[in-house]
Amino acid sequence: MKVITGVVGNDIHVVANRLIDLSLQARGYEVFNLGVNTYLEEFFDAAVETGAEVLMISSLNGEAEGWAREVKLLKAKYKQLDELIMMIGGNLVVGSGNTEDIVSRYKNYGFDLVCHQVDLNTGLDSLEAFINDGKIKERCQ
Amino acid sequence: MSLLQEEREIILGNEYVDTFDFSEVEAFVKNASKELFISHHFKKKNKMLVQPRGGFPTYKQQFALYEFFVEANVDVLPLTIDSNTRLNDYATAKKMLRLSEENDMDMLNGYPLVTHGYRTTRKMITHFDKPVSLRHGTPDARLLIETAIASGIFEIEGGPITYLLPYSKNFPLDKAFLYWKYVERVCANYSKLNEPINRESFGPLTATLVPPSITIVIQLLEMLLSLEEGVKSFSVSFSQQGSMNQDIVTGAVIKKLAKYYAQQIDCGDAAIHLVYHQWMGAFPANKDFAEQLINLSTVIASMVGADKIITKTREEATGIPTKEANAKTVADTQYTLGILNGLPNVVDEQEEEVLTEEVNAIMEAVFNDPADTLWRKVFNSIKNGIIDVPFSPHIINHNEMITIRDANKNIRIIKRGGVPIPDRCFEYEKAQCDLNKSTTGIVDDIIHDIGIMQ
């Protein structure tokens, strides 16, 4: 399964990004890592170019919230991305906030999976569960 | 007129520069006080020089910071530049400086040197009559270093590799090499007039599990790129790595090889110094623990035999340190250096041999690149993954190398990627580590290894 990952916006914090890359590879995904300092258009372009099934965006400094508001609008311009699994994780707000509120806000922005300050492996487990869940539903239909 | 002089006139014709008087600046450097040259202090001092970090937006604040440092018995003053100036955005720097001056609030994370200009800044530098080190992080530092030298700042930190790979994702590396060639030439030319201008490379890189072989190779290459342009005084550097033994071994090997490779290009007459950075990784939030860590760094710097130490502060984990905390670190470090006597001489021949072999193998691979000039060979080697810096955000970096810590906290290479680590050395490195772990286990180890001082 193909995954696009990267750190959104002008955020240059690279350590977790490298660790996500390694962990995804260890779990058998084919990883396209766009690195730090990546804009939304670049994520969607890469999804089209590679035919990836998952887009995993991360943020450390919290600027994701500013960018995430544009996700639905921008994604609608790309015709082939309706099936793309949208995931986001890291520190999703500048400062602090209530996790429940943050998760529901980001779901409204268009994300299927939202991991605010969640341990890396827990986050990746939730992705696996989401994918398997989807496959089960497919088989039942 | 030489091509370099033509380029200088274009650079200094920048709209944010208030007429640059070439002959006046030349006369100033020629007659400048020897005290301003760190190269002069390296020659005459037999103690480790202590240099803090620090830069504030306004002239007044920077002046006050220097007063605190002098009071704390500082050896070398820092001038840290703000991030707008680092990215050549002089318009924003100018606006933010005005806002900082008018509102009594810091809108810049350093001193906007180009905006203040050399006529103003020189007053401060000559007033304190101490060597000043320029700390920045600028890929295109041409205008900045011209302004610095004209101000009386005779040590310039940085380099095309060490100021790019840890800080930037997209800035073209080949351009950085050419911009830094200009810097080296200007420093070399001014060095003929008085004491030499010292150039210093930035060894900490990403400060995240960088193995000593990669650090040393990059230090040596930036040194050679500088010396081949005529620079006569150069400092190689590295930061505390987490294992005292590995630091001592790194210090021994870098000193030996810097001398060797300088001689190989007939630059054995240049003075080479060693700079040690106190721990550059994540700091403990507990300020008392932070002071213990700083103290430990000072002890190791002495064991390593560094010529200069660059300090951190007890407020490292919280943000930009106050001038009080900054000055306290200087006084504490001077005190520790004063009471550190009768240090044992530690030599680990086996580790030195392995590290030397690794560095020589990578250097050989760089020199064997078919390009015609050294900077192109280095550029190609980074592009090909012969040089690979762990955790660099730059797109040119391969990110194939993986390192972890062994039981003694030495940084070890467990995946070499395209870096030509000789088989014998690679087997030795891996033999020190527990490799019977899944990748998930290794990722957990890496997270732990990055945060060992917290």
pLDDT digits (tens, 9 = 90+) for B283-342: 999 999 999 999 999 999 999 999 999 999 999 888 778 999 999 999 999 999 999 999
Residue A49 Cα, gap to closest chain B Cα (Å): 18
Please give the pLDDT value at position B105: 83
Indicate the CATH number of B3-339 among 3.90.550.10, 2.40.50.100, 3.20.20.240, 3.30.70.20.
Answer: 3.20.20.240
In chain B, where the domains are located? 3-339
Task: Kindly state the tokens that stand for B171.
Answer: 């800035």
Search chain A and give the residue with CA nearest B170: A37
Q: Once rounded to an integer, what is the mean pLDDT over residues B40-59?
A: 95
State the pLDDT confidence band at B94, using cuts at 50, 70 and 90: very high
pLDDT digits (tens, 9 = 90+) for A77-89: 998 899 999 999 9
- ipTM surpassing 0.85: no
Residue B196 DSSP symbol: P
- A129 touching chain B per CB within 8 A: no
Residues 6+ apart with CB under 8 A from B414: B402, B403, B404, B429, B430, B433, B435, B442
- A19 touching chain B per CB within 8 A: yes
Angle (nearest 5°) at CA B326 between B100 and B42: 110
Strand positions, DSSP E, A16-135: 30-33, 54-59, 85-90, 113-116
Residue B373, CA distances (Å) to A19, B30, B79, B259 in order: 36, 32, 33, 21
**Where is B443: in which H helix or E strand?**
helix B439-450
Are A23 and B443 an interchain contact pair (Cβ–Cβ within 8 Å)? yes
**For residue B171, pLDDT beyond 60:** yes
pLDDT digits (tens, 9 = 90+) for B233-277: 999 999 999 999 999 999 999 999 999 999 999 999 999 999 999
pTM tops 0.90: yes
Interface test with B, best of A5, A10, A22 (most B CBs within 10 A): A22
What's the rounded Cα separation, in Å, for the pair B375 and B236?
18
The answer to whether residues B270 and B262 touch, using CB atoms and an 8 Å cutoff, is yes
The answer to whether residues B429 and B413 touch, using CB atoms and an 8 Å cutoff, is yes
- B443 touching chain A per CB within 8 A: yes
What's the rounded Cα separation, in Å, for the pair A34 and B169?
10
Regions of chain A where pLDDT drops below 50: none
Interfacial B residues in 203-262 facing A (CB < 8 Å): 206, 208
Q: DSSP string spanning B239-308? A: E--S-HHHHHHHHHHHHHHHHHHHHHTT-TTSEEEEEEE---SPPPSSHHHHHHHHHHHHHHHHHHT-SE
Domains present along chain A, CATH in parentheses: 2-140 (3.40.50.280)
Q: Which amino acid is at B16?
A: Y
Task: Kindly state the tokens that stand for B159.
Answer: 């380099």
Please give the pLDDT value at position B451: 87
Active-site residue, B199 included: no
